[in-house]
Structure 1
Amino acid sequence: MEARARIIKAMAHPTRLFIVDELARGERCVCDLAEMVGADVSTVSKHLSILRNA
């Protein structure tokens, strides 16, 4: 149950949901994702880390 809650919490953020959608279409580098969402590379890296740890 806790694992599902972590996944749902991670997916609840709009940027992370967008990243998951983009990655489902194929590989993307962090710099491309950063440009797509209009954020710094470090911010996107943090989002990816949260998704990976969920």
Structure 2
Amino acid sequence: MEEVAGRFSVFTVPVLLLFIEGTECLREARFIHFEQLEQKLKRVYQLYEE
């Protein structure tokens, strides 16, 4: 577990990392507000579709 945390520079939990084709596109940590997360995910999805 420490190897993964070190590799992705995770210093707190919980953390949500979204990778698309090997590139980190979204990082949310500690207090995750699901309404804001939904909007961010929609934005990432729109950009990926272009």
Structure having the higher strand fraction is 2
Larger radius of gyration: 2
Task: Using structure 2 for the length normalisation, give the TM-score.
Answer: 0.36
Tell me which of the two structures has the higher relative contact order, counting C-alpha pairs closer than 8 angstroms and 6 or more residues apart. 1
